[in-house]
Amino acid sequence: MKPAHILFLFLLLGLPFCGLAGPGPGKPAEIRGKVLDQNSGEELTGVRVEIPELGIVTYTDKHGEFVIPAAASSELTFHLSLVSFQNELFLFSEQSGTSDLEFALVEQ
């Protein structure tokens, strides 16, 4: 068997066991979120979204939205911060059954 075939078989058979083949059945491929101003309901652009369990920091786009890859962890902590708004901490649990989240920040 050629080395390229061996490598292909290793990847094909090994990926499901090391968690690199994507989410399992019923698991979302990504978690989407939206951040709004609690008072006005406006979408907030540039909100810093940190998920320490994954070592991820991202920012909301012009529609107040962000996307992160689905996590192996069943619980994630979201630290949200934006200038002139109170920093917020939210706990996401896989048991909530949704991959579309909505957060609201309070202006200081």
- What is the b/e burial string over 20-37, where b = at least 16 CB atoms within 10 angstroms of the residue's CB? eeeeeeeeeeebebbbbb
- What CATH number does the domain containing 61 carry? 2.60.40.1120
Q: Give a yes or no: residue 27 inside a domain.
A: yes
Contact criterion met (CB below 8 Å) for 53 and 70:
no
**CA 22/CA 55 separation, integer angstroms:** 19
Q: Give a yes or no: residue 51 inside a domain.
A: yes
Contact criterion met (CB below 8 Å) for 91 and 97:
no
Residue position matching structure tokens 């059954």: 97
Q: Total domain count for the chain?
A: 1
Q: Give a yes or no: residue 5 inside a domain.
A: no
Residue 46 is part of which domain span?
22-105
Q: Give a yes or no: residue 12 inside a domain.
A: no
Q: Give a yes or no: residue 33 inside a domain.
A: yes
pLDDT by residue for the chain (108 residues), tens only, comes to 555 444 444 444 444 444 444 445 555 568 899 999 999 999 999 999 999 988 999 999 999 999 988 766 678 899 999 999 999 999 887 665 567 899 999 999
Name the DSSP class of 105.
Answer: E
